[in-house]
Structure 1
Amino acid sequence: MPDKGINLIKYNYLNLPNQLQMKAIFENVTINTKYSANGTKLRKENIRVTSGFDGDTTYFEMIKMSITYSIAIQKR
């Protein structure tokens, strides 16, 4: 789906999307989703890499059981 910036969609054995990769001009986004054996969503991880003048900054966000963790890592 190049019009939406989606580069890759991977599916698991239940035919549920477990990885989605999108690319914009200065930003790459990967969304990983974990499911249980019966297809219930357990957690979702968002990894966003933003490129700019200062180098690359990686943002990691994990949503699990209504708790959100966020981490920002900057590389120079």
Structure 2
Amino acid sequence: MTLFDPMKKRDWAFLAACIAAALLFGVWSFQMGIAYHRAQPGSTDLSSANRRGGNSASVTAPVPPRAGDGDAQTGRVR
């Protein structure tokens, strides 16, 4: 261990600070990556829609109204 013998206390403190900063940055970037992927639209292979066997398009996209459905949606009778 002759490599570490000449290191002084301030060198060890600097090394410890660098390692702590690297760990904090790693944890922060991992959390930001998780948040980014959760915010993306559409389903992934791990989504609950695919686990249930559902179609992801029917879960996320609203069905457009058909022609002539305007009165039926408002409840008015002609």
TM-score in terms of structure 2 length: 0.21
Higher RCO (CA-CA < 8 Å; seq separation 6+): 1
Of Structure 1 and Structure 2, the greater strand share is in 1
**Max Rg structure:** 2
Of Structure 1 and Structure 2, the greater helix share is in 2
